[in-house]
Amino acid sequence: MQIASQKAVSIDYTLTNEAGEVIDSSAGGAPLVYLHGANAIIVGLERALEGKVVGDRFQVSIEPTDAYGEYSAELLATLNRSMFEGVDQLEVGMQFHASAPDGGMQIVTIRELDGDNVIVDGNHPLAGQRLNFDVTVVQVRDASPEEIAHGHIHGEGGHHH
């Protein structure tokens, strides 16, 4: 069975950056399970998986535009420490939910602390990076009507309600 929209897909993968450093991997753990065509993974990887079958192994480099986007300096902001009410100790690398310009929620990461100024970054940590995947297709099956309706896979390796 080929990977296509509304298929439940399981993959083993290793993700590296341009320097060859491992960023993430399913090695030693469960495969990544997702619903193909539901925007559950980055668009470039989903496109590369289209049409593959169980046992296929391949390597693909995904450009930032098909991954987490280009890095945008506009997503840096300087906030006053007082905006982090209830947090006793702020540290570089801490992440918080914040209101996004479109009214939704986004995650911001503290990049720098300078006195009462807290510089936060709304970019995804992998924004602006070319991502290199080594992928093996482990399983492909028809998604259940419930999985399709919910937009994600249920059960082992998937979502549990």
What digits encode the pLDDT tens for the residues 116-147? 999 999 999 999 999 999 999 999 999 999 99
Query: Within this chain, do residues 17 and 57 fall inside the same structural domain, yes or no?
Result: yes
CATH label of the domain that carries residue 144: 3.10.50.40
Query: Within this chain, do residues 132 and 81 fall inside the same structural domain, yes or no?
Result: no
- Above pLDDT 90, what percent of the chain? 86
Query: Within this chain, do residues 62 and 23 fall inside the same structural domain, yes or no?
Result: yes
Query: Within this chain, do residues 138 and 59 fall inside the same structural domain, yes or no?
Result: yes
Residue for token digits 């065509």? 37
Question: 109 pLDDT exceeds 70?
Answer: yes
Query: Within this chain, do residues 102 and 27 fall inside the same structural domain, yes or no?
Result: no
Query: Within this chain, do residues 116 and 134 fall inside the same structural domain, yes or no?
Result: no
Q: How deeply is 149 buried, as exposed, middle or buried, from its count of CB atoms within 10 A (0-12, 13-18, 19+)?
A: exposed
Query: Within this chain, do residues 87 and 107 fall inside the same structural domain, yes or no?
Result: yes
Question: 157 pLDDT exceeds 60?
Answer: no
pLDDT in tens, 44-92: 999 999 999 999 999 999 999 999 999 999 999 999 999 998 898 999 9
For residue 4, give every residue at least 6 positions away whose Cβ sits within 8 Å of its Cβ, in sequence order, or none. Answer: 36, 37, 50, 51
Q: How far apart are CA 159 and CA 150, in angstroms?
A: 10
Query: Within this chain, do residues 42 and 117 fall inside the same structural domain, yes or no?
Result: no
10 pLDDT band, cuts 50/70/90, is very high
CATH label of the domain that carries residue 111: 2.40.10.330
Q: What are the backbone angles phi and psi of residue 85, rounded to the nearest 5°?
A: -55, 135
103 pLDDT band, cuts 50/70/90, is confident
Question: 161 pLDDT exceeds 50?
Answer: no
**pLDDT score, position 98:** 85
Query: Within this chain, do residues 27 and 54 fall inside the same structural domain, yes or no?
Result: yes
Domain that holds residue 110: 73-121
Into how many domains does the chain fold?
A: 2
For the segment 25-44, the average pLDDT, to the nearest whole number, is 96
Query: Within this chain, do residues 54 and 13 fall inside the same structural domain, yes or no?
Result: yes
For the segment 6-30, the average pLDDT, to the nearest whole number, is 97
